[in-house]
Amino acid sequence: MVETLTGHNRSNGISYNEILESDTVPPPAIFLEDSPMEPGVTTVETHRYWTKEEHDREVERLWKRVWQMACHKDDIPNVGDTHVYDIAELSFLIVRVSETEIKAFPNSCMHRGRAICDNHKQGQKALRCPFHGWSWELDGTLKEVPCQWDFPSVSKKTHSLQDVRVGEWGGFVFINPDPNCEPLEDFLGDLDRHFQIPFERRFVAAHLVKRLPCNWKIAQEAFMESYHVVGTHPVLMPAFGDANSKYDVWHNVSRAMSPDGPPSPHTDFENPNPESFPDGKAFQSFIHPISKHTFRRLEENRVEVSMPNGKSGIFDMYANYIEGDLKSADLHMCNWVGGKIAPGEEDTPIAYNDEPMRVFRDRAAKARREEMRPAWGIWLIISAMLI
């Protein structure tokens, strides 16, 4: 059983709202808003994660009934572009019908149910099933049936593709298989107020997909919390308030925010260590802020780990022992310090001062703004050329 205690306790030290309130540039008001989530204990039975019965229940009661993001409009920029969206054993076809209209259909032929499209396509003039060649106009109207004389009961009225509900938000295309569902706008509520830069002004620069061999909720939950930072990303702790994170829930919308700048409350957060990276390089050495073990890269796949009491050992990037007095080491740190480094990143500098958090955050925010400025410059130029 997984038990989640919500609302009763919080970390020592400064809260997320107090961090924001001390910033030089005032934050958007919504960042300081707390959701009206009632504190309490939530238990989740483990069968929810692995039983066939639960999976089937989710298909019937969730995936067939909920608004879900199927693609981005940039995935189907031109008329005739199609995108295949698969969820559980369900498959849907998202189609750019015109410059202003996107439709969705079950990706299943009205003849014998073969998938109409096996993968995404561009510039289709019609939707054609590859089995016997039935075809439909882009708007789903039945177009052609080979040997139609053998199908007297088949017509546009009976065998056009069935519309699936479609909605758009922020450039993302959503579908809902339930024809009686609430409008997407009602489902999302006032989601827009959480974003200072509307999503419509953003574009897809890259699209990465990673298939994880786990239940979808396991993956989803891993990206909804900072609780794993202390175990999995200790390198962040010198300047990341993992346990200061703020979680809010409003109806169908939830939000998680974690502050850069303050040391983790798991550490001696009132006395940050400016020498967490002894070499001043992000991937060459690191002092674990809790164990105080020093990890130093000797070469790729070879890490020296030393304790404050003088014991030391050599490990590979997977924390497998090679030699020395010390026989075990932190896996994630061995991987960080001894793993592959992208070419050109070997000496990436990193340094922390023991400056006050407010000063640190102000300096870091200015640096980030400068970092982003050239990209926006290019974007503005592209926009001007398009106009």
374 membership: H or E segment, kind and range: helix 357-386
Sheet of 90-96, strand order = 82-87, 90-96, 102-106
Q: Minimum Å distance from CB 115 to ligand FES?
A: 9
Task: Write the burial class of residue 372 (CB in 10 Å: 0-12 exposed, 13-18 middle, 19+ buried).
Answer: exposed
Provide, rounded to whole angstroms, the least separation between the CB of residue 105 and ligand FES. Answer: 13
Taking the CA atoms of 27, 29, 32 and 37 in sequence, report the sign of the dihedral they define. negative
As measured in angstroms, the least distance from the Cβ of 50 to ligand FES is 35
Is 67 in contact with 53 (CB distance < 8 Å)? no
Closest CB to ligand FES among 133 and 278?
133
Site string for ligand FES, 124-163 (x = CB under 6 A): -----x-xxxx-----------------------------
CA 183 to chain centre: 24
Q: Cβ contacts of residue 186 below 8 Å, gap of 6+?
A: none
Q: Which is nearer to ligand FES, 108 or 306 (CB)?
A: 108
Helix count and strand count (H, E) for the chain: 9, 18
Q: How far is the CB of 112 from ligand FES (least distance, A)?
A: 4
* Alpha carbon distance 218, 225 (integer Å): 12
If the CB atoms of residues 19 and 127 are measured against ligand FES, the closer one turns out to be 127
Element (H, E) at 381: helix 357-386
Q: 254: closest CA among 36, 64, 101, 2?
A: 36
Q: How far is the CB of 145 from ligand FES (least distance, A)?
A: 8
- Minimum Å distance from CB 131 to ligand FES? 4
* Rounded least distance, CB 179 to ligand FES, Å: 23
Break the chain down into helix, strand, coil percent, rounded to 5.
25, 25, 50
The count of residues interacting with ligand FES (CB under 6 A) is: 9
Residue among 144 and 346 whose Cβ is closer to ligand FES: 144
Closest approach of Cβ 138 to ligand FES, in Å? 17
Identity of residue 99: E
Residues 6+ apart with CB under 8 A from 129: 109, 111, 114, 116, 135
Q: For residues 135 and 273, which CB has a smaller minimum distance to ligand FES in the complex? A: 135
List beta partners, residue 240.
260
Counting every residue written for the chain, the total comes to: 387
Binding track, positions 101-120, relative to ligand FES; x by CB under 6 A: --------x-xx-x------
263: its two tokens: 């040391």
Least distance (Å) between residue 110 CB and ligand FES: 7
Q: Which is nearer to ligand FES, 117 or 129 (CB)?
A: 129
Nearest to 167 by CA among 104, 85, 243: 104
The strand ranges marked E within 80-138 are 82-87, 90-96, 102-106, 127-128, 135-136
Of 100 and 119, nearer to ligand FES (C-beta) is 119
Instruction: State which residue, 113 or 123, has the beta carbon closest to ligand FES.
Output: 113
| Eight-class DSSP state of 139 | T
Q: Which is nearer to ligand FES, 132 or 340 (CB)?
A: 132
> Which residues ranging from 53 to 112 are in contact with ligand FES (CB under 6 A)?
109, 111-112
* Chain contacts with ligand FES (rule: CB under 6 A): 109, 111-112, 114, 129, 131-134
